[in-house]
């Protein structure tokens, strides 16, 4: 059985139109995830882009990925990612062992992330792995016009906060059988901590795009 990478990338985007095909660092946004997967041929046997968009389809093929035509009923604004990945597994004509899920909106990833995360996943007995980052902010909620601290007490130093983590979306590794059950996580999933500035990038708006482009120019281009 094979290990595959799936990159879901639908065409519709209201807050940042055509974001997956916008030029980022001189190439289409989605191409960064394709190239990242191609750098790990010892782990990833095949790379698939699931899309409903002809422009994205052409980009994916030009960059060496295979394309799965996603039907319109799985391409709406409210459709969860899991259904696109399930559909991909349904149409792929061979048995898949492990899926590496890469989001096109996370174009910047630490160079060795997949290799290190996959090794960690492989020696575990888990159904899936997902990347997380530690939060260092003082969080709270507003109730009846009053601010109620959530993860700290008033006056507490930020360095003394109880560790909390957020799902950063950099990558997911999952057994195909878990995805076929309609899940990416289970009680037997493990987090993989990534404390890197790239973990703050998830492009959904023009401001997100501009900040990611700034980091790309400052870190990737400057150090190349």
Each residue of 112-137: pLDDT tens digit? 999 999 999 999 999 999 999 999 89
Q: What percent of the chain has pLDDT over 90?
A: 79
Q: If you average pLDDT over residues 74-82, what whole number do you get?
A: 80
Of the candidates 92, 96, 104, which has an alpha carbon nearest to the alpha carbon of residue 10? 104
pLDDT score recorded for residue 160? 83
- Domains recognised in the chain with CATH numbers: 2-133+166-223 (3.90.550.10)
pLDDT of res. 219: 83
List helix spans (H) across the chain.
Answer: 29-38, 54-62, 81-91, 113-122, 176-180, 206-215, 222-223
Q: What is the residue-averaged pLDDT of the chain?
A: 93
Q: How far is CA 25 from CA 130, 159, 171, in A?
A: 26, 35, 20
Q: How confident is the model at residue 13, as a pLDDT?
A: 79
Q: What is the pLDDT of residues 170-201, one digit of tens each?
A: 999 999 999 999 999 999 999 999 999 999 99
Output the 3-class SS for 72-118.
Answer: HHHCCCCCCHHHHHHHHHHHCCCCEEEEEECCCCCCCCCCCHHHHHH
Contact 213, 205 (CB under 8 A): no
Any idea of the CA torsion for 127, 30, 115, 89, to the nearest 10 degrees?
30
3-state secondary structure of 208: helix
**pLDDT band at residue 91 using 50, 70 and 90 as cut-offs:** very high
Cα 202 to the center of its chain, rounded Å: 8
How do residues 198-224 score in pLDDT, each as one tens digit? Answer: 999 999 999 999 999 999 998 877 665
For 153-168, what is each residue's pLDDT tens digit?
Answer: 888 888 888 889 999 9
């Amino acid at each position: 059985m094979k290990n595959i990478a799936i990159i879901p990338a639908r065409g519709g985007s209201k807050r940042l139109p055509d974001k997956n095909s916008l030029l980022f660092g001189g190439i289409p946004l989605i191409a960064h995830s394709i190239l990242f997967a191609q750098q790990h041929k010892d782990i990833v046997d095949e790379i698939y882009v699931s899309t409903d968009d002809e422009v994205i389809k052409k980009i994916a093929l030009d960059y060496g990925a295979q394309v799965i035509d996603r039907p319109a009923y799985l391409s709406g604004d409210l459709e969860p990612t899991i259904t696109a990945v399930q559909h991909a597994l349904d149409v792929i004509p061979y048995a898949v062992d492990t899926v590496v899920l890469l989001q096109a909106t996370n174009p910047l990833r630490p160079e060795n992330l997949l290799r290190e995360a996959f090794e960690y996943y492989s020696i575990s007995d888990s159904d899936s792995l997902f990347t997380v980052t530690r939060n260092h902010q003082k969080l709270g909620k507003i109730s009846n016009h009053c601010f109620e601290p959530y993860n700290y007490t008033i006056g507490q130093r930020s360095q003394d906060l109880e560790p909390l983590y957020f799902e950063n979306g950099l990558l997911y590794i999952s057994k195909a059988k878990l995805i076929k059950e309609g899940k990416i996580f289970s009680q037997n999933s493990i987090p993989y901590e990534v404390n890197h500035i790239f973990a703050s990038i998830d492009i959904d708006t023009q401001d997100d795009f501009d900040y990611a482009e700034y980091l790309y120019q400052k870190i990737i281009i400057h150090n190349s």
